[in-house]
């Protein structure tokens, strides 16, 4: 049983590991527990896995009444998870971060079911930091994350879906193929800067082909801003269901610097302009982005400095230098851990078989 989700950063690695477990053990019964407001509500059934949903909300940023309501919802979620697990008795519960992760993993511990957590960020999230000493195994993306977990855990890298690993070289045609996205829900500052950049980008010869994931809230306004862009050279969507194909078709990517986004960029080997989300916990996206820049795989623009002119200039500079983009793409690919899902699946199966702690 996988528990957690909410955003693509939590959900997509869980799906990658679930698919790998299913590949290795076709007879396995795999299910998910998630939050009603998360992406899992749509994407888990699409992937073919059963899903149970909990009513949950976050503690962070809430007032006293909000925290009381969140605590009550978490308590009720714990009871519901206990009832579900008494009925199905899973062999293993894997927490992947997000609101639903805590109640399900705690319920498993209360029933003496083996547990593990998958942490995607180099700066581990609050739920997984709290759960780490209480579970049988912790899988982490890097040594930096392991240090921040007090030396606990196994470094496995971040798992991505196999489709990302099948991407070839960037198209490298006459016109730049530009992919713009701000995470599964979009990013308003990126949307604003990108639409402000369009008058400059249209002057490039030839103008780039642009695919822009704007998020559901900004889709209409972003689409309107592209009306004066050359016909047939831009596509605006609320959400991209086919991200592996979209990344494979891109020469350059403009995006946030979440851990899973960076893992996917590494898997496909694409040059990127990273714009870290400024309100991420512990400013972890900025640290992520700087580490990738130091490896030569990306350019970084800080959100507080972002505007249309600055973004347009950065895109134009890279559009004019295909050799630099190729070097950045090769550097990105050096950061990939292609067998991450297999490593995590191996740990999960060892827990099921031994019912013991594999992490000191």
Do residues 180 and 130 share a domain? Answer: no
Interstrand relation of 2-3 and 51-54 (parallel, antiparallel or unpaired) = unpaired
Q: How far apart are the C-alpha atoms of 69 and 57, rounded to whole Å?
A: 8
Does residue 81 lie within any of the structural domains? yes
Residues 120 and 147 in one domain: yes
Contacts of 265 by beta carbon, 8 Å cutoff, 6+ apart: 247, 253, 255, 272, 292, 297, 298, 332
Q: Which residues pair with 273 in a beta bridge?
A: 254, 299
Write down the pLDDT at residue 36: 83
Q: Are residues 61 and 207 in the same domain?
A: no
Using CA of residue 169, residue 187, residue 297, residue 144, what is the dihedral sign?
Answer: negative
Q: What pLDDT score was predicted for residue 314?
A: 98
* Within-domain flag for 359: no
Q: Look up residue 166 and give its two tokens.
A: 């099948």
Same domain, 347 and 269: no
Same domain for 303 and 251, yes or no, is: yes
Are β-strands 209-213 and 177-180 bridged in parallel, bridged antiparallel, or unpaired?
parallel
How many whole angstroms separate alpha carbon 160 and alpha carbon 118?
A: 13
CATH number for 136? 3.40.50.2000
Please tell me the distance from the alpha carbon of residue 154 to that of residue 135, in angstroms, as a whole number.
13
Task: Give dist(CA 331, CA 347) in Å, integer.
Answer: 29
Residues 79 and 42 in one domain: yes
Q: Are residues 90 and 216 in the same domain?
A: no
pLDDT values of the chain reduced to their tens digit, one per residue, 360 residues: 999 888 778 898 999 999 999 999 999 999 999 888 788 888 999 999 999 998 866 555 567 776 777 778 778 889 999 999 998 899 999 999 887 888 999 999 999 999 999 998 877 877 788 889 999 999 998 887 888 888 899 999 999 988 999 999 999 999 999 999 986 666 899 999 999 999 999 999 999 999 999 998 999 999 999 999 999 999 999 999 899 999 999 999 999 999 889 999 999 999 999 999 998 877 889 988 998 999 999 999 999 999 999 999 999 999 999 999 999 999 999 999 999 999 999 999 999 998 654 543
The phi and psi torsions of 129 (rounded to 5 degrees) equal -60, -40
Quote the pLDDT of residue 57.
Answer: 61
pTM of the full structure: 0.80
Contact status, residue 313 vs residue 287, Cβ threshold 8 Å: no
Give, in order, the Cα–Cα distances in Å from 176 to each of 173, 200, 226, 230, 234.
Answer: 7, 14, 17, 14, 12
SS3 content of the chain, % helix, strand, coil (to 5): 50, 15, 40
One domain, residues 181 and 148 = no
The pLDDT value given to residue 129: 86
Q: ∠166-28-26 over CA atoms, to 5°?
A: 50
Which tokens belong to 269?
């080997």
The structure tokens listed for 271 are: 């040059």
Does 360 reside within a domain? no
In contact, 158 and 13? CB cutoff 8 Å: yes
Q: What is the pLDDT of residue 359?
A: 47
- Number of structural domains the chain divides into: 2
The span from the CA of 165 to the CA of 342, in Å, is: 13
Assess whether 258 and 346 both reside in one domain.
no
Q: 326 and 193 in one domain?
A: yes
Range of the domain at 168: 164-333
Q: Are residues 196 and 96 in the same domain?
A: no
Residue 129, domain member (yes or no): yes
Same domain, 147 and 173: no
């Amino acid at each position: 049983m996988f528990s957690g989700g909410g955003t693509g950063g939590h959900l997509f690695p869980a799906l990658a590991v679930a698919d790998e477990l299913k590949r290795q053990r076709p007879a396995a019964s795999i299910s998910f527990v998630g939050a009603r407001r998360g992406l899992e509500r749509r994407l888990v059934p699409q992937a073919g896995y059963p899903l149970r949903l909990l009513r949950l909300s976050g503690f962070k940023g809430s007032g006293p009444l909000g925290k009381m309501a969140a605590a009550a919802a978490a308590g009720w979620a714990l009871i519901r998870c206990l009832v579900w697990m008494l009925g199905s008795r899973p062999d293993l519960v894997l927490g992947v971060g997000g609101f639903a992760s805590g109640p399900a993993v705690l319920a498993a511990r209360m029933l003496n079911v083996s547990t593990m957590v998958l942490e995607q960020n180099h700066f581990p999230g609050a739920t997984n930091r709290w759960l780490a000493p209480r579970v049988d195994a912790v899988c982490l993306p890097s040594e930096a994350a392991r240090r921040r977990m007090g030396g606990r855990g196994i470094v496995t890298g971040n798992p991505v879906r196999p489709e990302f690993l099948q991407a070839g070289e960037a198209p490298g045609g006459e016109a730049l193929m530009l992919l713009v996205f701000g995470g599964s829900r979009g990013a308003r500052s990126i949307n604003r800067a990108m639409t402000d950049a369009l008058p400059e980008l249209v002057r490039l010869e030839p103008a780039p082909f642009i695919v822009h994931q704007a998020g559901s809230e900004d889709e209409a306004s972003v689409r309107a801003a592209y009306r004066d862009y050359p016909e047939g050279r831009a596509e605006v969507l609320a959400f991209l269901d086919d991200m592996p194909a979209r990344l494979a078709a891109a020469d350059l990517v403009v995006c946030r610097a979440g851990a899973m986004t960076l893992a996917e960029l590494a898997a496909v080997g694409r040059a990127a302009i990273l714009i870290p989300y400024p309100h991420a916990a512990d400013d972890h996206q900025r640290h992520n982005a700087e580490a990738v820049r130091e490896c030569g795989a990306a350019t970084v623009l800080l959100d507080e400095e972002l505007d249309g002119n600055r973004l347009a200039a950065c895109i134009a500079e890279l559009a004019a230098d295909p050799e630099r983009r190729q070097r950045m793409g090769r550097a990105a690919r050096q950061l990939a851990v292609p067998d991450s899902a297999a490593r995590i699946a191996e740990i999960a199966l060892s827990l099921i078989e031994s019912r013991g702690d594999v992490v000191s």
